């Protein structure tokens, strides 16, 4: 089956009243994210019932077509859902992002049997994880060493993956492996691997971030995967998927920085020192005003990138917008949460206020799905600079 990297960019076929959709997402976040995230953060454990709740609310597969139970909407609506959930907590929200990105490899490019996995993911019956990164292949995805060797009607996978969000919770690991060593990106394929297959071991990584949706090392030791589980998608499709993911990442951190700014603004109004609110000092008020501009700029860049994505314009024409949004939002969220932490003073460093948790959560923003440097390289290339 021939696949195109433009496939992941099919135009949305449906539209919604975006304000009503935003209200629905906001109500969902209040109802389902707010009561769960703190316990999940303490337990470092993903609440599976949250995934089921998202699926029931129609938030999984927003961009998938209706034949697999999706909503046929665009990246714009996906960004709205992501932003609204992240305004309560960015880490439970990431579960939606993972389902939609891994799911899209199945429903955009998969065979009928693989699309059935996507249908179950969208229905809340099959949690999936994106299984790409390795200890020696972080930003350098082309260096993936996990090997898949053909043996009759199945493949045998060996390798070690790292930082796989929900890797130990997922039913299916959408895994990138090298099928033709020595051919670089051309010899890479995805496999939809049952996590419960013999030879698959998941070990949680003790990270300071993403605690409600933990990351795992996944060891593949002589894991047998049927040929029917090999996806037609290859390297070009991963890159297309990563670009859509970057819009979602920007929306995630937009929601988080908005929340941090709201908190810091309210705190600056009620916290009194020297007989007046700390926000009466220009030095504090101006920092918060600067944060407001960060939030507004991140909002415009994020939704502009989503609109460009949904326009169906060739991928090369939207990369500049996507990378700019991702870069700016992931830089801005660090600035805004650091300001919120500073406004919190000594109390900001305690568990009695949310400032430290918000600042810690934001630290992962520049790292995943292409770091600052990777976005800058991509922007510089699109500007025509001869950067390698
Ligand atoms: C919380 C979390 C969740 C994650 N979830 C997933 C997931 O679900 N699935 C998955 O597959 N992966 C996941 N990842 C992996 C994530 O995408 C990688 O951590 C990321 O790609 C960075 O890889 P690395 O940590 O090996 O850093 P490295 O690639 O080693 O980078 C280290 C530093 O070097 C810089 N650098 C690297 N190359 C260059 C260059 N060419 N030019 C200039 N600077 C460079 C980077 O910008 C960075 O600052 C997750 C990571 C985290 C932390």
Which atom of ligand 1 has the smallest separation from the CA of 377?
42
- Residue 139: enclosing H or E segment and its boundaries? none
Task: For ligand 1, pick from 367, 370, 376, 387 the residue to mutate: most ligand atoms within 8 Å of CB.
Answer: 367
Strand partners, 188: 178
Tell me, in angstroms, the distance from the centre of ligand 1 to residue 137's CA. Answer: 8
Tell me, in angstroms, the distance from the centre of ligand 1 to residue 141's CA. Answer: 9
pLDDT along the chain (388 residues), means of 10: 49 90 98 96 96 97 94 96 97 95 90 96 97 93 94 97 98 96 86 98 96 97 97 78 91 98 98 98 98 98 96 90 97 98 98 96 93 93 92
Tell me, in angstroms, the distance from the centre of ligand 1 to residue 367's CA. Answer: 5
Tell me, in angstroms, the distance from the centre of ligand 1 to residue 134's CA. Answer: 9
Instruction: Give the residue, by CA position, lying nearest to ligand 1 atom 23.
Output: 138
Q: Where are the alpha helices (DSSP H) in the chain?
A: 18-28, 37-43, 48-56, 75-86, 90-109, 112-123, 235-270, 282-310, 315-343, 345-348, 355-362, 372-382
211-242 per-residue burial string, b: 16 or more CB within 10 A, e: under 16: bbbbbbbbebeebbbeeebbbbbbbbbbbbbb
C-alpha–C-alpha distance, residues 12 and 33, integer Å: 27
Instruction: Give the residue, by CA position, lying nearest to ligand 1 atom 24.
Output: 138
* pLDDT at position 10: 66
Instruction: Give the residue, by CA position, lying nearest to ligand 1 atom 27.
Output: 138
The pocket around ligand 1, CB under 6 angstroms, is made up of: 98, 129-133, 138-139, 163-165, 207, 209-210, 215, 364, 367-369, 371, 373
Tell me, in angstroms, the distance from the centre of ligand 1 to residue 139's CA. Answer: 5
Tell me, in angstroms, the distance from the centre of ligand 1 to residue 276's CA. Answer: 45
Which atom of ligand 1 has the smallest separation from the CA of 209?
1
Instruction: Give the residue, by CA position, lying nearest to ligand 1 atom 1.
Output: 210
Instruction: Compute the radius of gyration of the chain from its Cα atoms.
Output: 21
Instruction: Give the residue, by CA position, lying nearest to ligand 1 atom 49.
Output: 371
C-alpha neighbours within 13 Å on the C-beta side of residue 357: 19
Instruction: Give the residue, by CA position, lying nearest to ligand 1 atom 16.
Output: 368
* pLDDT at position 329: 98
Task: For ligand 1, pick from 133, 159, 206, 208 the residue to mutate: most ligand atoms within 8 Å of CB.
Answer: 133
Residue 85's closest CA among 269, 255, 324, 294? 255
pTM, 2 dp: 0.95
Instruction: Give the residue, by CA position, lying nearest to ligand 1 atom 2.
Output: 163
Which atom of ligand 1 has the smallest separation from the CA of 215?
3
* pLDDT at position 182: 83
* pLDDT at position 54: 98
Instruction: Give the residue, by CA position, lying nearest to ligand 1 atom 41.
Output: 374
Domains of the chain in start order, with CATH, are 7-126 (1.10.540.10), 131-229 (2.40.110.10), 235-382 (1.20.140.10)
Which atom of ligand 1 has the smallest separation from the CA of 131?
11
Question: What is the DSSP annotation of 75-129?
Answer: HHHHHHHHHHHHTT-HHHHHHHHHHHHHHHHHHHH--HHHHHHHHHHHHTS--EE
28 Cβ contact partners less than 8 Å away, ≥ 6 residues apart: 53, 54, 57, 59, 84, 85
SS (HEC) of 316-352: HHHHHHHHHHHHHHHHHHHHHHHHHHHHCHHHHCCCC
Instruction: Give the residue, by CA position, lying nearest to ligand 1 atom 22.
Output: 138
């Amino acid at each position: 089956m021939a696949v195109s990297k433009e496939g992941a960019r099919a135009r949305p076929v449906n539209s919604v009243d975006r304000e009503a959709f935003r209200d629905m997402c906001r109500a969902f976040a209040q109802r389902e994210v707010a009561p769960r995230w703190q316990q999940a953060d303490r337990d470092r454990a993903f609440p599976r019932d949250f995934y089921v709740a998202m699926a029931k609310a129609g938030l999984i597969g927003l961009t998938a077509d209706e034949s697999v139970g999706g909503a046929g909407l665009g990246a714009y609506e996906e960004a709205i859902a992501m932003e609204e959930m992240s305004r309560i907590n960015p880490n439970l929200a990431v579960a939606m992002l993972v389902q939609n990105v891994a799911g899209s490899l199945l429903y955009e490019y998969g065979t009928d049997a693989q699309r059935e996995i996507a249908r179950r993911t969208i229905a809340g019956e099959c949690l999936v994880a994106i299984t790409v990164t390795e200890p020696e292949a972080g930003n350098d995805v082309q260096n993936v060493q996990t090997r898949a060797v053909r043996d009759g009607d199945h493949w045998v996978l060996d390798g070690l993956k790292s930082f796989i969000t929900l890797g130990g919770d997922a039913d299916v690991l959408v895994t990138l492996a090298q099928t033709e060593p020595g051919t670089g990106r051309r010899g890479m394929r995805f496999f939809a691997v049952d996590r419960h297959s013999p030879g698959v071991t998941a070990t949680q990584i003790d990270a300071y971030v993403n605690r409600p949706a933990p990351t795992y090392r996944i060891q593949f030791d002589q894991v047998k995967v049927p040929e029917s589980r090999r996806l037609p998608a290859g390297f070009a499709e991963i890159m297309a998927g990563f670009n859509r993911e970057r819009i979602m990442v920007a929306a995630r951190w937009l929601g988080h920085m908005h929340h941090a700014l709201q908190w810091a603004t309210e705190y600056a109004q009620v916290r009194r020192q020297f007989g007046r609110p700390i926000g009466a000092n220009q030095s504090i008020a101006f920092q918060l005003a600067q944060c407001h501009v960060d939030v507004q700029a991140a909002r415009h860049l994020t939704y502009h990138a989503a609109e460009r994505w949904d326009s169906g314009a060739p991928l090369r024409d939207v990369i500049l917008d996507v990378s700019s949004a991702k870069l700016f939002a992931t830089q801005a969220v660090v600035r805004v949460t650091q300001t919120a932490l500073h406004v919190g003073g000594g109390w900001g460093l305690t568990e009695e206020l949310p400032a430290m948790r918000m600042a810690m959560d934001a630290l992962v923003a520049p790292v995943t799905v292409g770091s600052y440097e990777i976005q800058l390289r991509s922007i510089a290339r699109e500007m025509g600079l001869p950067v390698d």
